[in-house]
Structure 1
Amino acid sequence: MTSTDALAWTDICAVDDILPSTGVCALVANRHVAVFRVGADQFFAIDNVDPKSGASVLARGLVGSICDRVVVASPLYKNHFDLRTGECLETPAQSVSAHSVRAVGGRVSVAVA
């Protein structure tokens, strides 16, 4: 992956705007992106569009873990997506893209590749 300094970052919101174990959606470079906060200081970003339904809903899914993987369960078909990689655990062919995310100075930013 490229250096984070070379990426084009888009400011999303304040850190405190995302409650722990929840997600928010944002439009970044014309992509629907879901940004999740896990615990107090871990942030993840994946595509927000559920590949099975085409609906922009993954930010509304339930955050949890399966073994050592941090996942979100789609609110529509309950497929689980790894928040680090975007891999769909049930159907890898329906995986989504994962994006770079950072929290700096109390703000959350995302960069899509």
Structure 2
Amino acid sequence: MTLTGRTTDPGDDTRTWVPICAYTDLIPERGAAALVASDQIAVFRTFDGRVYAVGNRDPFSRAYVMSRGIVGTRGEEPVVVTPMHKQVFSLVTGACLDDPETAIPTYPTRVTDGTLEVSVE
């Protein structure tokens, strides 16, 4: 069974799930960008197998580059470091760990039959 990052109740059928790619297409600790409706999403698979989805727009540079960020941890928190100015964002909450007043959106993920799905609702 694949671990996912931020998920919803499996019985919650009110969400619309959009297939992104095969889970195995995601290289651990590397990001990928996807367009879901009108939202640019950055998806990440960590070495422990969890999958996270966040907004692809870096709020500091305003460039759509989060998928190019460096993935790692700060303490036990999985994070992505922006490639432009090196701010650190939680992959779980979207909060900037360097500037608590700044955050990026996070999106629920799940893996169904080997396919990563994201909900932007």
Q: Output the TM-score relative to the length of structure 1.
A: 0.93
Alignment correspondent of 1:77: 85
Residue of structure 1 aligned with 2:63, choices 38, 42, 55: 55
How much has 1:29 moved relative to structure 2? 2.2
Question: Amino acid of the residue matched to residue 16 of structure 2?
Answer: A
Flag the 1:7–1:80 CA change in 2: closer, same or farther, 3 A: same
Instruction: Give 1:5 shift.
Output: 2.3
Percentage of identical aligned residues: 38
Structure-to-structure mapping, 1:1-113, within 5 angstroms: 3=9, 4-113=12-121
* Structure 1 ranges of 4+ moved more than 3 A: 1-4
More helix by share: 1
Structure 2, gaps ≥5 residues long: 1-6
Deviations 1:64-84 (A, max 9, x none): 000111000000010011001
Q: Which has the higher strand share?
A: 1
Mapped contact 2:28–2:47 kept (Cα < 8 A): yes
Gap regions ≥5 residues in structure 1: none
Aligned length: 113
Q: Counterpart of 1:109 in 2: which secondary structure? A: strand
Q: SS in structure 1 opposite 2:101?
A: helix
Using structure 2 for the length normalisation, give the TM-score.
0.87
Q: What is the RMSD computed on CA atoms of the aligned residues?
A: 1.5
